[in-house]
Amino acid sequence: MSVDTVVLQDATLTRVGYIDVAIDPAAAGLLAEDFADIDWREPLWTEGDQLRAGAAVWFADIDGQRLAFDPVQAADPVLRSDPDTERSQQTAIAELLVVSGFDRASVDVLVMTHIEGVGMCAWHNDDGSWSPFFPNANVIVSAPALESFLARERVGDLDIEYDAWHALIDQGVVSTYVDGDSVVDGVRAQVTGAHCPGHSILHFGPDAYSPEATMLGHLAISPVHLATGECPLQHPDPATAWSALSAAAEDGRILIGPLWPAPGGGRWMNNEFIATPGA
């Protein structure tokens, strides 16, 4: 486990890491040769020919409110595919959050950049039903992302994304934001699409036009995406994804990727990605 903190003017962001692993770069739409020449990639972001990725939860404490973001998203194939171990994984993550000072019950709002699997948005009960993972939190996702999810049919015998999200919706805890909304004061959503319908990035700071930090969602599965250009194998609309990514990177603000391994963030400066925090 690891805990990394970024202190902003009016907010404290904390990454609680469960596990960091090396993954096939194909899972992020890349080949090893795409990042072979990037000299800042080792040791944090790549391991030989593989990318490093993290299963983590980011939190923000802002003006007495606690937000969580994209909890352990996109890790279902590893953490939730085996019914025999799935519940012990969610219990282990819940316990990790307690010892890290981020008890599930302390979260007021769960903010999603998009819907991709279940992650730790929902708790799988022993009887097979689903409850909110964060029992006191409202879940918010962009209106077009929710619309896209609601338009799809249940697929196959085991469609946990479908079952879990419909359970949350039926329990009345899911609401939506639109492009430009402040999800809370100091956190502005920009609906970028490009990765999937309604995908969003989140800007932190009191000045909406000059954010201190931006959470990039899945526009960059790894920081190496900041240097590898358009990624058509990852995004249906690679030009729009690259344009949003470049715009967020160019002024040296803190960039955060929910799937990045510890420390989970950094700044793009002088054509190099400088990890922060820890620094």
Nearest distance, CB of residue 218 and Zn ion, angstroms: 4
Segment contacting Zn ion (CB under 5 A): 13-21, 218-226, 232-240, 250-258? 218-226
Segment contacting Zn ion (CB under 5 A): 64-72, 133-141, 182-190, 215-223? 215-223
Query: Cα–Cα distance between 160 and 168 in angstroms, integer?
Result: 12
Between 235 and 267, CB nearer to Zn ion: 235
How big is the site for Zn ion, counted in residues (CB under 5 A)?
2
Nearest distance, CB of residue 78 and Zn ion, angstroms: 15
Residue 218 binding Zn ion, by CB under 5 A: yes
Query: Cα–Cα distance between 199 and 213 in angstroms, integer?
Result: 18
Between 188 and 218, CB nearer to Zn ion: 218
Residue facing Zn ion at closest CB distance: 218
Between 15 and 218, CB nearer to Zn ion: 218
Residue 161 binding Zn ion, by CB under 5 A: no
Between 41 and 218, CB nearer to Zn ion: 218
Between 67 and 221, CB nearer to Zn ion: 221
Between 186 and 198, CB nearer to Zn ion: 198
Nearest distance, CB of residue 220 and Zn ion, angstroms: 11
Residue 116 binding Zn ion, by CB under 5 A: yes
Nearest distance, CB of residue 261 and Zn ion, angstroms: 17
Segment contacting Zn ion (CB under 5 A): 78-86, 111-119, 157-165, 182-190? 111-119
- Find, among 116, 111, 105, the residue nearest to 161 by Cα: 116
Between 225 and 267, CB nearer to Zn ion: 225
Nearest distance, CB of residue 251 and Zn ion, angstroms: 25
- Whether 104 and 83 have beta carbons less than 8 Å apart is answered as no
Query: What HEC string does the chain produce?
Result: CEEEEEECCCEEEEEEEEEEEEECHHHHCCCHHHHCCCCCCCCCCEECCEEEEEEEEEEEEECCEEEEECCCCCCHHHHCCCHHHHHHHHHHHHHHHHHCCCCHHHCCEEECCCCCCCCCCEEECCCCCEEECCCCCEEEEEHHHHHHHHCCCCCCCCCHHHHHHHHHHHCCCEEEECCCCEEECCEEEEECCCCCCCCEEEEECCCCCCCCEEECCCCCCCCCHHHHCCCCCCCCCHHHHHHHHHHHHCCCCEEECCCCCCCCEEEEECCEEEECCCC
Residue 188 binding Zn ion, by CB under 5 A: no
Residue 225 binding Zn ion, by CB under 5 A: no
Q: List contacts with Zn ion (CB under 5 A).
A: 116, 218
